[in-house]
Amino acid sequence: MNQAIRIMLAKVGLDGHDRGVKVVARCLRDAGMDVIYTGLHRSPDEVVTAAVQEDVDILGVSLLSGAHMTIFPRILKLLEERGGQDILVVGGGVIPDEDVDALKKMGVKEILLQDTPPQVIVETLRELVDARGPR
């Protein structure tokens, strides 16, 4: 049976609004995915707990606050500790070019910067899940 891709969208840190995330959530739903949105101001601990319970294929973490170099390693480590190591982590928001490579080396699968067109987001996520294979 062909299951819908499950994705969780999380906003970590102090950014004030979630208009962008909500737009992305609707695009992904319209592409046939199940989208879990956790709301604003979540901590890495909360996000990882939710992602593991929901057994999502993809955890999309969006941040504008510049704390990515500390938050992503924290999320990856917590996922590992809680048995969620096969959850694919994708970053979004505002992340400077020079950090993108470092994040990918750490284990973040993809970085989708703020102006990525919805169709590209959808295709990228599908490819990531296909490449992972069944689990």
Partner 1 sequence: MGGPLASAALLPRLYAGEGAAIARMLTRAEAATPEAREALAEIYRRAGRAHVIGITGVPGSGKSTLVGKLTRALRATHRKVGIIAVDPSSPFSGGAILGDRIRMSELATDPGVFIRSMATRGSMGGLARSTQDAVDILDAAGFHLILIETVGVGQDEVEIAQASHTTIVVSAPGLGDDIQAIKAGVLEIADVHVVSKCDRPDSFRTVADLKSMLAMGAVLSRGGWSVPVVATSSERGEGIGDLVSAIDRHREYLHHSGALRARRQRIAEYRMLKTAEDLLRRRFAASRAGRVADLAERLAARELEPYSAAEELLNSAFGSTYHE
**Binding positions for partner 1, rule: CB under 8 A:** 1, 3-4, 6, 25-26, 28-39, 42, 45-46, 49-50, 52-55, 82-84, 134-135
Q: What H or E segment, with its residue span, contains residue 98?
A: helix 97-106
Q: Least separation, in Å, of the C-beta of 98 and partner 1? A: 32
Instruction: Name the residue nearer to partner 1 (CB basis): 49 or 66.
Output: 49
- Take residue 63 and report the two structure tokens written for it: 């941040």
Q: Least separation, in Å, of the C-beta of 55 and partner 1? A: 4
Residue 102, CA distances (Å) to 90, 93, 115, 135 in order: 13, 16, 21, 27
Instruction: Name the residue nearer to partner 1 (CB basis): 16 or 134.
Output: 134
- Take residue 81 and report the two structure tokens written for it: 């500790």
- Mapped onto helix, strand or coil, the DSSP state of residue 120 is helix
Q: Least separation, in Å, of the C-beta of 34 and partner 1? A: 5
**DSSP secondary structure string for all residues of 29-78:** HHTT-EEEE--SSB-HHHHHHHHHHHT-SEEEEEE-SS-HHHHHHHHHHH
Instruction: Name the residue nearer to partner 1 (CB basis): 35 or 129.
Output: 35
Q: Least separation, in Å, of the C-beta of 31 and partner 1? A: 6
How do 6-11 and 34-37 pair as beta strands?
parallel
Instruction: Name the residue nearer to partner 1 (CB basis): 46 or 99.
Output: 46
